[in-house]
Amino acid sequence: MKRNRSVLMLLVLLLLGSPAGGEEKLSLMLDWFPNVDHVPLFVARQGGIFLKHGLSVEIQSPSDSADPLKLAAAGHVDIALSYQPQAIIAASGGIPLKAVGRLVGSPLSTLLFLDGKGISSPADLEGKTIGYTVPGMMDHLLDAFAAVNEIRSFTPVNVGFVILQSLAAGRVDAVMGPFKNYEPVAMEMEGYTASFFELEKFGIPSYDELVFVAGTMIWNRKGETIRRFLDAVEEALAFTKAHPEEALALYFEAVPEAPREMERKAFEKTRPWFGPDTRLDAVRWKTFAEFALQWGMIEKEVNVHEIVAER
């Protein structure tokens, strides 16, 4: 029934305004492997919304979480799904990019730890070993979190995405970077209970977790096409909010290998954090950029009005 519904929606969209062939092609690289953070993107593709806006969008997965932004800046992909802190750090380093929109407009990243390990406040992390997930971003966020919360001594360790194993084995006491909608669910299904510090509640300014980034040259050349892409994503965000079960069915249709029980639970936690639109707030970006400069996340000041694209 759900599959029939998705086919019916596609036919309706085609009848109501899809162009007759000649779609413009865009390549989109995700921040990581497909997961429920990306549901609206697969709604737009599977449900014909991209097609309705005259677009053919190829969705790619990276081999490393640092690749999407670099490949977008170099023009090897049209759009990358990245993170606001990562974009700020890259811009400070002179990488030519344009932040063009958002998918998830609130922080999902946390500093996560297992229950029963004697951690109830940031002060309890003094002298601990703390992992981080994405080099070049989460290690900087960890340093800033420690400075703001007066954690004077700790040992940072790059654990990548080997989060549960690193915590369960006692290799690290906590990890900077796991998403609050995803890893706690996965850990609970393995019999572990996780707690976390939400970064925006412990001194880190609120930011857009997942953002669309294009290289400056691509934006200058394909800006209008990318704007249509963002319009399509907004339509998909609205559909996901109004029809969550149908949206999740479209995602599972596109990613049949997804672990359904875990991703269904994670999707319920993710839904409030989407959108509600794709528009970026330059003032909020400026606040984060100033914080990043103040606490040593970046060395060079970032003019956010140069990197946040006008819509």
151, 192: one domain: yes
Domain end among 164, 182, 201: 201
Expressed as residue numbers, the domain containing 265 is 2-106+208-307
93, 117: one domain: no
152, 12: one domain: no
Task: Give me the pLDDT at residue 9, please.
Answer: 54
Task: Give me the pLDDT at residue 13, please.
Answer: 53
What's the CATH number where 218 sits? Answer: 3.40.190.10
Mean pLDDT by 10 residues, the chain (311 residues): 51 49 91 96 98 98 90 97 96 97 96 96 98 94 97 97 95 97 95 97 97 98 98 98 97 97 96 93 97 96 95 77
Number of domains in the chain: 2
DSSP the chain: -HHHHHHHHHHHHHHTT--SS-PEEEEEE-SSS--GGGHHHHHHHHTTHHHHTTEEEEEE--SSTTHHHHHHHTTSSSEEEE-HHHHHHHHHTT--EEEEEEEE-S--EEEEEETTSS-SSGGGGTT-EEEESSTTTHHHHHHHHHHHTT----EEEE-TT-HHHHHHTTS-SEEEEEETTTHHHHHHHTT--EEEEEGGGTTPPP--SEEEEEEHHHHHHHHHHHHHHHHHHHHHHHHHHH-HHHHHHHHHHH-TTS-HHHHHHHHHHHGGGB-S-S---HHHHHHHHHHHHHTTS-SS---HHHHB---
297, 240: one domain: yes
Entry pTM: 0.91
Task: Give me the pLDDT at residue 113, please.
Answer: 98
194, 259: one domain: no
Domain end among 182, 201, 220: 201
Domain end among 166, 201, 236: 201
Task: Give me the pLDDT at residue 66, please.
Answer: 82
227, 296: one domain: yes
